[in-house]
């Protein structure tokens, strides 16, 4: 019925989730009351959602097949083992195990999802060529009629996320998988702050940057006649700086490990930056051969350590921008 409603009203609907958010996206045509139809669909999801046992079973089987396919993939098996070790066996950031899936019930999953769909926990963004009166009418008719969330006396307990303490026997692991081709991959990972500068130990790195910037301003002479804008005070400064740093590290890895040393087919550096969780992590992925992969890993570590003494130059920053 939902699919038929979307087809009849030219609505493209998608529902996705990640570690922090649940996203509902509705793309629609404005003609023939397309906006009202999209808001009507959103209202139905929030107020009259339908949960079916057979659909729940299909979803559980799908995730079970994902988990069982992990040992069949060199890249996924290696990455899975690394994530489990790095996050101290926390299953919230990896594929759910069969044991965890067996514990789920339709009712528990429904409560977990619908408890997020409350007014104080939601944000609705509407983008398009419409008038203020049109969108206000839809908001009042379809979101203004959503019933208020019931107050829950149950205190929510969330386990703290922690990285594996150092040193540990799990810091270096190897996975061997039968394959038709002789190949190897490696992953190097470690903790990072989130997009806003908060780290797992509770430290606010963004405030540290602003403090050091303020000290520099006091010692620096004033330029008369020029308006000075301190970009370090901008909330997005930390996240953008990390993105630029990731680009520079990527360039150095590619130039050193692949081009100069010829140790890898491909190498990449990625940052996983969260918005609400006070943590993040970086991952270096290396594709090589069994005879070269250990040297490639050492070379990647050397590039990271080299950031301390081999300072970033203006040319690298301009290229990253």
Per-residue pLDDT in tens (0 to 9) along the chain, 321 residues:
788 889 999 999 998 988 889 999 999 998 889 999 999 999 998 888 899 999 999 999 999 999 999 999 999 999 999 999 888 888 889 999 999 999 999 999 999 898 888 878 889 999 999 899 999 999 999 998 888 766 555 666 777 888 887 767 778 888 888 888 888 999 999 989 999 988 877 778 877 776 665 555 545 555 555 556 777 788 888 899 999 999 999 999 999 999 999 999 899 999 999 998 888 999 999 999 999 999 999 999 999 999 989 999 999 999 998
Return d(Cα 222, Cα 156) in angstroms, integer: 52
CA atoms of 70 and 76, how far apart (whole Å): 6
Residue 38 is predicted with a pLDDT of 94
Could you please report the per-residue DSSP string of 166-221? SS-GGGS-------SS--EEEEEEEEE--TTSB-TTS-BHHHHHHHHHHHHHHHSP
The whole-number pLDDT of residue 169 equals: 77
Coil/strand/helix, residue 102: helix
Residue 211: per-residue pLDDT: 66
pTM for the model stands at: 0.80
Domains in the chain and their CATH numbers?
Answer: 2-143 (3.30.830.10), 181-320 (3.30.830.10)
């Amino acid at each position: 019925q939902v699919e038929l409603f979307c087809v009849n009203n030219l609505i493209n609907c998608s529902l996705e989730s990640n570690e922090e958010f649940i996203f509902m996206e509705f793309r629609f045509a404005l003609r023939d009351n397309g906006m009202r139809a999209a808001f009507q669909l959103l209202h139905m999801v929030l107020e009259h959602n339908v949960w079916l046992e057979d659909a729940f079973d299909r979803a559980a089987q799908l995730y079970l097949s994902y988990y069982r396919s992990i040992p069949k993939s060199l890249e996924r098996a290696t990455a899975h083992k690394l994530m489990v070790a790095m996050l101290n066996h926390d299953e919230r950031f990896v594929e759910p195990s069969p044991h965890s899936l067996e514990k789920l019930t339709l009712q528990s999953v429904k409560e977990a999802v619908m408890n997020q769909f409350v007014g104080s926990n939601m944000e609705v963004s509407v983008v398009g060529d419409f008038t203020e009166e049109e969108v206000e009418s839809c908001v009042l008719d379809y979101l203004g009629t959503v019933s208020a969330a019931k107050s829950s006396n149950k205190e929510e307990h969330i386990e703290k996320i922690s990285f594996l303490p150092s040193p540990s026997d799990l810091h270096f692991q190897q996975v061997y998988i039968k394959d038709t081709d002789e190949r190897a991959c490696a992953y190097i990972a470690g903790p990072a702050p989130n997009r806003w500068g908060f780290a797992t130990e509770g430290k606010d790195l963004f405030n540290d940057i602003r403090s050091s910037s303020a000290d520099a301003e006091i010692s620096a002479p004033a330029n008369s006649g020029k308006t000075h804008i301190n970009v370090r005070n901008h909330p997005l400064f930390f996240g953008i700086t990390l993105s630029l740093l990731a680009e520079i590290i990527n360039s150095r890895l590619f130039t050193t490990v692949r081009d100069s040393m010829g140790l890898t087919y491909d190498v990449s550096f990625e940052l996983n930056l969260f918005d609400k969780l006070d943590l993040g992590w970086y991952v270096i992925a290396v594709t090589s051969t069994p005879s070269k992969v250990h040297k490639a890993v050492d070379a990647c570590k050397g590039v990271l350590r080299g950031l301390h003494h081999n300072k970033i130059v203006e040319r690298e920053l301009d290229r990253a921008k």
